[in-house]
Amino acid sequence: GVILVLVNTLFFILILIGAFATLAVLIRGVITMASGKDVTGERQNKLMVKRVGLQAATIVLVIIFLMFMNVGR
């Protein structure tokens, strides 16, 4: 019904936000690496950990979204 459509829409929006956040962190990491200012690699490591966390959260959202899609059928 209507609630299922709202839940699916919410999860779709959250997935888009997660994907764009992951992309933003990835781009920041590439820029940091290209700048050569992060000699120790500490900043790059923090960005990589953040990116992996965002990717994991987004994948979980996709799995939940797909589960709700199957419930609606």
For the chain, what is the mean pLDDT? Answer: 91
Burial of 19 (0-12, 13-18, 19+ CB in 10 A): middle
Mean pLDDT, 10 residues at a time, the chain of 73 residues: 87 96 95 88 92 96 88 65
Residue-wise pLDDT tens digits, 23-39: 999 999 999 889 988 88
CA dist 67 and 61 (Å) reads 10
Task: Report the predicted TM-score, pTM, of the whole model to 2 decimal places.
Answer: 0.83
Nearest to 17 by CA among 69, 47, 62: 62
* Rounded Cα gap, residues 7 and 13, in angstroms: 10
Q: What is the distance in angstroms between the CA of the first residue and the CA of the last residue of the chain?
A: 11
